[in-house]
Amino acid sequence: MGNKLIDLQGISKSYGKHMVLDDLNLYIRENEFLTLLGPSGCGKTTTLRIIGGFESPDTGRVVFDGQDITNLPPNKRHLNTVFQKYALFTHMTIAENIAFGLKIKGKSKAYIDDKIKYALKLVNLDGFENRMADSLSGGQQQRIAIARAIVNEPKVLLLDEPLGALDLKLRQDMQYELIRLKNELGITFVFVTHDQEEALTMSDTIVVMNQGYIQQVGTPENIYNEPENAFVADFIGDSNIIPGTMIEDELVEFLGTKFKCVDKGFGNNKPVDVVIRPEDVELVTPDKGTIKGVVTHLIFKGVHYEMEVMANGYEWLVQSTKMSPVGTEVGIKVDPFNIQIMNKPESEDEEAVGVDE
* pLDDT, tens digit, 9 for 90 and up, residues 202-256: 899 999 999 899 999 999 999 988 888 888 988 888 889 999 999 999 999 999 9
Per-residue model confidence (pLDDT) at position 85: 67
Per-residue model confidence (pLDDT) at position 133: 84
Query: How, if at all, do strands 329-333 and 340-343 pair?
Result: unpaired
Domain pair 4-225 / 240-343, same fold: no
Left if phi > 0, otherwise alpha if psi is -120 to 50, otherwise beta: which for 324?
A: beta
Task: List the domain boundaries for the chain.
Answer: 4-225, 240-343
What topology does CATH give the domain 4-225?
Rossmann fold (3.40.50)
CATH class for the domain made up of 240-343 = mainly beta
In angstroms, the CA 110 to CA 118 distance is: 12
CB neighbour burial string for 88-105, b if at least 16 within 10 angstroms, e if fewer: beeeebbbbbbbebbeee
Residues with Cβ < 8 Å from 43, sequence gap 6 or more? 13, 20, 21, 24, 209, 211, 212, 213
162 close to 146: Cβ distance less than 8 angstroms: yes
Look up the pTM and report it: 0.79
Residues of the chain predicted below pLDDT 50: 347-357
Per-residue model confidence (pLDDT) at position 24: 94
Could you tell me the strand order of the sheet in which 79-82 lies? 79-82, 156-160, 188-193, 33-37, 205-210, 213-218
Per-residue model confidence (pLDDT) at position 313: 94
Per-residue model confidence (pLDDT) at position 347: 47
Contacts 24+ apart (CB under 8 A), 304-313: 304/279, 306/278, 307/283, 309/281, 309/283, 311/255, 312/255, 312/256, 312/257, 313/255
79 close to 188: Cβ distance less than 8 angstroms: no
